[in-house]
Amino acid sequence: MSIHAKAETGVSLLASMPAMEKEGGSCPMREVLDIVGDTWSLLTIINLQSGPRRFNVLRRMIEGISQRMLTVTLRSLEREGLVRRTVKPTSPPEVTYSLTEMGHSIATPVAALGEWAATNRDGLRQARAAFDAARDVNGG
C-alpha cells in the first residue's frame, strides 16, 4: 500500500511504521526524539555536518546557545554515539567534536524535516495568526 493510499483509506501512516512499535515500553521514535528532538541537539548536529569543530567555534556557530547548554548537548550526543570527542595531547589540550557515522546518517531525515518546514512555514504562520485572531475575537 502506498503512502497516499494509506492516507486515503484512513489507515494511519505514522502509527503503522516500525518506528512506532513498542518494545520494552517505548517505541524507537520516542527514543530518538528524546535524544535529538530539541533545538540545541539538532543545531549541533547540523553545524557538525561539515566537519570537526572546536568547542568555541561551535558555540559561535549556534546562535543563542550557552556554554553550559553546549557542554550538556555535546555530552548527550556523545553518549548516544552521534558525536565523537577527540582530545589531542597538546598544552593546553585541543578538543574537537565531530559526527560519527551514525551522526552523519541522521542528515537525510533532518533534511526532509527541513524541506517540510520550508514548504509549510507560511501555512503554519497563517494558521497560527487565524487561531490567535479567533481567540482574540471570542475572548478566549
More confident residue, 34 or 134: 134
The reported pLDDT for the residue numbered 9 is: 59
Q: Which domains does the chain have, with CATH numbers?
A: 22-105 (1.10.10.10)
| 19 pLDDT higher than 60 | yes
- What is the per-residue pLDDT across 81-102, written as a single tens digit (0 to 9) for each? 999 999 999 999 999 999 999 9
CA distance 76 to 83: 9
| 71 pLDDT higher than 90 | yes
The residue whose grid cell reads 553545524 is 47
Distance of CA 61 to the CA centre of its chain: 16
What is the average pLDDT score of the chain? Answer: 87
The residue length of the chain stands at 140
The reported pLDDT for the residue numbered 6 is: 52
